[in-house]
Amino acid sequence: MTSELSVIVRSFQRGATFRSFNRDKFMAGVCVPLQKLLSTAPPELSGIVLVSCGEVGSPYAEEVCDGHTPTTLAIHREFPKEVASGMISTVVSNSWGLNAGSATAINEGIAVARQRGVDLLMVWSPEIDLSGHMITEMLGHMDSHSLRLVGYMRSRWYQRLQWTFA
């Protein structure tokens, strides 16, 4: 496995301002899962791109100041070494759209990863448990079966803990 993998993450706190940002929610829902992923990262993991909503007028938008939302600023504060090294990048989406699970945000994150020459991409929601070991298994499965697309299969959101590997 010689390919590099970049993980794309969407994260926002609907309507958050820098004063109302819920740090505890961020720590539990974003920071802790990212720390787990980084601490178990396989060598193929070349970066994580976190996209946050800053679209003016969007119901999902966070306040934007100096090019940051509360979420992106919190990422920079909690992961200064990873941001400085380029392992974590942040993007403020100004065209999020009407869907909380914005495909536009994913595409914006993919564009950042592609600029770095990354050839494998993984879209991840931090609510779903993920470790480097799982990524290694996924990449091995992909290689052994000559697959171009690999993912976790689900039937319904409430079954996310039981999603099986496809």
CA neighbor of 50 nearest in space, from 94, 85, 83, 5: 83
> pLDDT category, 147, cuts 50, 70, 90?
confident
Helix (H, G, I), strand (E, B) or coil at 134: helix
Answer whether residue 155 shows pLDDT above 60. no
Instruction: Compute the distance between CA of residue 18 and CA of residue 147 in angstroms, rounded to an integer.
Output: 43
DSSP at 65: B
Answer whether residue 158 shows pLDDT above 60. no
Instruction: Compute the distance between CA of residue 19 and CA of residue 42 in angstroms, rounded to an integer.
Output: 36
The whole-number pLDDT of residue 163 equals 45
Instruction: Compute the distance between CA of residue 25 and CA of residue 39 in angstroms, rounded to an integer.
Output: 21
Least reliable range by pLDDT among 7-11, 83-87, 96-100, 157-161: 157-161
Tens digit of pLDDT for each residue in 34-82? Answer: 999 999 999 999 999 999 999 999 999 999 999 999 999 999 999 999 9
List beta partners, residue 51.
10, 91
The whole-number pLDDT of residue 34 equals 97
Say what the pTM is.
Answer: 0.88
- Residue 145 has a CB neighbour count (10 Å cut-off) of 8
Answer whether residue 159 shows pLDDT above 60. no
What is the separation of C-alpha 128 from the centre of its chain, rounded to a whole number of angstroms?
11
Vertex 140 angle, CA 113 and 86, to 5°: 25
The whole-number pLDDT of residue 162 equals 46
Percentage of the chain lying above the pLDDT 70 cut: 89
Answer whether residue 157 shows pLDDT above 70. no
